[in-house]
Amino acid sequence: DIIEAFEQQTKPTSTRYYWFDIFVMNQHSEHDLSQRLLLENLRAAVSAPGRVLLALDSWREHTPLARVWCLLEIWTAMNAGAEVVMCLSEAEQSSFAANLARNQAEVHLALDAVDAEQAEATVEADREAILGLIRGGTGFERFNQTIRDELRQSFELVAVAAAQRRL
């Protein structure tokens, strides 16, 4: 449903292929890669296509944005110069656009909820390692704000697309 909404929004003129992180890079497998190699592969994987589709289940309670691996993927894509494109189902796009017109404060609350320090991971050791990377690198304030700013731009595009569908 989300990919269909994305394709309707972008109207591709040729076949598109989608890379799903969970199928390509399994950060939970003991037999997969070392953390350093996993991060190198992540950088290569998000920079090669030049675009990352951020599929959100809900604009109010956006599950991927509460996951530390997902935040790292977004950050890595942005730093690699890849475009981060957010997409919601048609119903969520309409809900977002309607709510935006009524109450921008709720949108700001949704964006302000993005916080790497509070984000979860299935494996606590992964969470701690990623938090260590952020802490030792850009720091949480810059990391979080950069992602929020990128999402703000993406939310604006979603609102425009929803408004165009209403015309």
pLDDT along the chain (167 residues), means of 10: 71 71 59 64 80 82 88 90 84 78 73 93 87 92 94 78 67
Q: How confident is the model at residue 21, as a pLDDT?
A: 64
Decide if 86 contacts 157 (C-beta within 8 A).
yes
Q: Which two tokens stand for residue 98?
A: 């309607």
C-alpha 46: how far from its chain's center? 12
* Amino acid, single-letter form, for residue 86: M
Picking from 111, 47, 107, 35, the residue whose alpha carbon sits closest to that of residue 76 is 47
pLDDT of residue 53: 84
Whole-structure pTM value: 0.80
Task: Supply 99's token pair.
Answer: 């709510």
Structure tokens at 81: 């110069």
**Which stretches does DSSP call E strand in the chain?**
51-55, 83-87
